[in-house]
């Protein structure tokens, strides 16, 4: 576990397109607890959302749904620590693993 956490710190510190942000437990219930999703821009320039459930995943391109999921993403980012704070926290937790 320690090596995995330190690897995340390395990636977040050295790769400019990788952003790692941690939502702290103190945030309590927040929008991201609804499940995993990905917002992607397809070659045509439109955004789509991939939502994953227990039985299957689904790509949704409805503008209203995409807009709502972008708002959810911004809400999650608002609850998260900054990238630097997140990397420091991950590094601190890594040191607790032997």
Cβ count within 10 A of residue 69: 21
Tell me the whole-structure pTM to 2 decimals.
0.81
**Range 12-32 average pLDDT:** 94
pLDDT at 34: 87
d(CA 41, CA 62): 13
Tokens of 10: 């390395």
pLDDT at 53: 86
Residues 20, 4 contacting (CB under 8 angstroms): no
Tens-digit pLDDT profile for residues 51-90: 998 899 999 999 999 999 999 999 999 999 999 999 999 9
Name, in order, each residue with C-beta under 8 angstroms of 61's C-beta and a sequence gap of 6 or more.
Answer: 46, 48, 49
Check whether 15 has a pLDDT greater than 90: yes
Tens-digit pLDDT profile for residues 27-51: 999 998 988 999 999 999 999 999 9
């Amino acid at each position: 576990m320690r090596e995995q956490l330190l690897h995340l710190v390395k990636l977040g510190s050295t790769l400019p397109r990788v952003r790692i942000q941690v939502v702290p437990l103190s945030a309590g219930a927040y929008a991201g607890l609804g499940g995993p999703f990905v917002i992607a821009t397809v070659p045509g320039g439109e955004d789509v959302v991939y939502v994953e459930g227990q039985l299957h995943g689904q790509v949704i391109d409805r503008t209203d749904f995409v807009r709502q999921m972008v708002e959810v993403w911004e809400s999650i980012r608002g609850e998260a620590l900054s990238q630097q704070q997140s990397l420091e926290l991950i590094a601190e937790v890594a040191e607790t693993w032997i």
